[in-house]
Every structure is written in C-alpha cells, then in structure tokens.
Amino acid sequence: MAVKRRFGKTGGTVAWHGYQSFAEGEVTPDEAFEIGKETARRMWGDKYQVVVTVHLNTDNLHCHFVVNPISFIDGSRFQNKIYNHRRLREVSDEVCRERGKSVLEHSKFYGGKSRGVYWAEKNGHTTHRDMLAKDVEYCLSVSYTRKTFYQQLRGLGYEIDETRMSIKGKGWERAIRLRGLGFTPDVIDRKLNYHYSQGWEFVRDVWNVNPPKKTKSVLLSSIAHELGYQIEHSHDVAEIYIDLLFLIIIEALRAVKEIKNAVIMSVELRHQVKDLQQLIFDHNFLREADIHTLPQLDRYIESTKTQIQELERERSLLRNKIRRETDPAVLADNRTQRSEITKNHIEPLRKNLKRAQKIKEKSPHLYELLKDELQREAPFVKITRDGRIVMKDAPERGAR
C-alpha cells in the first residue's frame, strides 16, 4: 500500500496471484521455497514486490506468488497478459532444470485452448465450442457418409469448408476446425463407415427419422404471436418491450432444449441456450422491477444511481460524526447505522444497478438476433383462420 500511495495508484487490482507446483516427492519444503523465491526474483524482482509462500496441504508441494501490480521503481502497472503467463512458465522451467527438477516437457499452454475457453471450462461454464461440439456429435450420430454429415451441419445453419474441414456460423469472426474439437478425419470416417456398414437398416431407423434440419421454422413467430408481440423492423429499439423480448427468447431456447424437433435457424441465437439461466434471472429482475421498455430501464438506472448517491452522502455524514464522537455509546450507534446503510441499502442497490446496466448492454443485440430470426421465418409463416401460426411451404426461388 505504501508503494501504491507513493505513485497515487491505490485503485484497481489489489494483487496478482500465481502458483508453481512440483512433482510428488521430488522436493522438500525448503527446496520448494528456494526455487519459488528464485523464480519470483527473475520474473518480477527487479520491479515488483512479491510474497512467496510454500503450501504443504496437498501431495504436490507448491509455491504461491502474490504480486503487487504497482512497480516500486517507477509506478508502472503490471498488466498480467498471456505473454506474462508464458514467461512465468519459462522462468519456472529454467530454475527447476538448474536444480535437477522435472518440468512438463512439450505440454500445450492452457491445454492447447484459448485462455477464455480454459477458464470458462474450469469455472463450469458452457462455451461456444461446447455447443458446436454437441451439434457435430449429433450430426455424426445420424449420418453415414461425409455428404450426409455435411448436409446435417448445413441444416443446423452452419457453413462448411469441406477442404479445411472447418465450420463457421453467421456472424462468427473465424471458422473452427473439426480437428480442434477432437473430430479428426479418422474419428469422423470411423463413425461414418460403421453407420454405412449398417446399410438400409440405418437409413430406415436413423436417417429417415432424423433427416437434415430444414433451414426453416416458425418457432419464434409462434411464441411471439402467442404473447402478442409485434416487432418493428427498424433500428430504433427505444420502444421495444424488453421483458417480452427476453421471454420469447427464453421460451424458444427452452423448446430447443426440451423438444427434439424444435428449430432455431440462427446458430448464434441457438447458442444462447448456454446462457439460458442468466436470461431467466434477467427476465425475473425486469418483471419484479416492473420494467417493460428501454426508457423505463434507463429511468430505473438513473433513479438507482441517485439513491446510491444520497445514501453515500448520508453515510459520509455518519463517518464524519464517528471521527469527532467521544461518547462510546453514541459512537457504537453511529457505526451500526453506517454498517446498516452499506449492507442493507447501498450494496443491494449497487447489485441491482449492475444487473440493470448489463441488461441494457445485451438488449439491443438480443433484439437484433430476434428480428433476424423472425425475418428468416417470415417466408414460412401462415396464420390460420383460428389465429394460429403454422408452417407453410417456402416460395420457390424467383417467384413473386
């Protein structure tokens, strides 16, 4: 804190944390401590303060590093980028080799995954790649040739580069190779060849029951119609009913998850199913706060900010009283009041404010996804005499 105050950088990250683990039975606690200290000196010691500890609570002795992000030399801030992670590993390996200890040779950093994917999986979150892998697994399970496999993938809305064996959804920055998901050519061909060997039995029992998804659907149109939702095809999202927007998408994603033949044509929208629980929480928040449109959400955000500011002023006045108060009983009462303002009022309001701001950020994107999906469904929508929406045959290409 003295270093941070010296350079006027007391905010932001408090400290960075790293660790260094050793093979079971290979080092003593003292050896681990010496290796950890030397690693810290080479990695950070010329600019940053580091606390080094050795933990003995697992079969593998390991060091923990806690790094002050502010340099004691010039006040520069340690950014903790991916190249720093790689450098730490290089330094650790270097020090261990010098002392005759083993290192992980030729192992891929983060298991060969991107940093985001690695930490998402480590924290138990479903990733974009997880969703794609499930789709690929399904398409393989109902295909018997490369052609039928690619037909299935295209039916789900993916673009296929057959030469590179890579997949891309609309709006994706880059394609993902099947090999990167664990589906090597050998794995794919082995499964397809087995299905092909089943002959007519496979076609009758599997392929005919699971033909390629037709890239047409009226799922969202039906849900929107039942809820009385009319989307305006414009770029002005100010008056859209965001509570219904969330509800329509939630109901559609539930259908995809629970009903085998439910189809959402947009890959990006279908992949929102990984965030289904968060969307449900967001919708419940809007309903409880009686928020229906973006202007109402904006007013809620501003009102919450004002409430927080007023409570912070009240807490500041109490803080000044505490500094001057000499009566122990009054002092204790003031401290209790200050604590109650923070825990019972300011913290809940800040939590709600953060939730509202996140909803505001994601709403326009969800609106565009819903609008695009409804536009895709429009050629197949037919309203019956009793007011229901059903599928109709798509118009032929070139027809008016």
The residue-averaged pLDDT of 290-319 equals 93
Sorted by where each begins, the domain ranges of the chain are 2-107, 128-207, 219-383
3-state secondary structure the chain: CHHHHHCCCCCCCCCEEEEEECCCCCCCHHHHHHHHHHHHHHHCCCCCCEEEEEECCCCCCEEEEEECCECCCCCCECCCCHHHHHHHHHHHHHHHHHCCCCCCCCCCHHHHCCHHHHHHHHCCCCCHHHHHHHHHHHHHHCCCCHHHHHHHHHHCCCEEECCCCEEECCCCCCCEEHHHHCCCHHHHHHHHHHHHHCCHHHHHHHHCCCCCCCCCCCHHHHHHHHCCCCCCCCCCCCCCEHHHHHHHHHHHHHHHHHCCCCCCCCHHHHHHHHHHHHHHHHHHHHHHCCCCEHHHHHHHHHHHHHHHHHHHHHHHHHHHHHHHCCCHHHHHHHHHHHHHHHHHHHHHHHHHHHHHHHHHHHHHHHHHHHHHHHHHHHHHEEECCCCCEEECCCCCCCCC
Q: Assign 400 a pLDDT band (cuts: 50, 70, 90).
A: very low
pLDDT digits (tens, 9 = 90+) for 313-345: 999 998 888 888 888 888 889 889 999 999 999
pLDDT digits (tens, 9 = 90+) for 197-237: 988 888 888 877 777 766 667 888 888 888 777 665 444 44
The CATH code of domain 2-107 reads 3.30.70
Asked if residue 399 has pLDDT above 60, the reply is: no
Asked if residue 183 has pLDDT above 70, the reply is: yes
Q: Assign 71 a pLDDT band (cuts: 50, 70, 90).
A: very high
Q: Assign 382 a pLDDT band (cuts: 50, 70, 90).
A: confident
Mean pLDDT of the chain: 84
Asked if residue 166 has pLDDT above 80, the reply is: yes
pLDDT digits (tens, 9 = 90+) for 74-123: 999 998 887 788 889 899 999 999 999 988 876 666 555 555 555 555 65
Give the orientation angle of helix 242-258 with respect to helix 347-377, to 10 degrees. 70
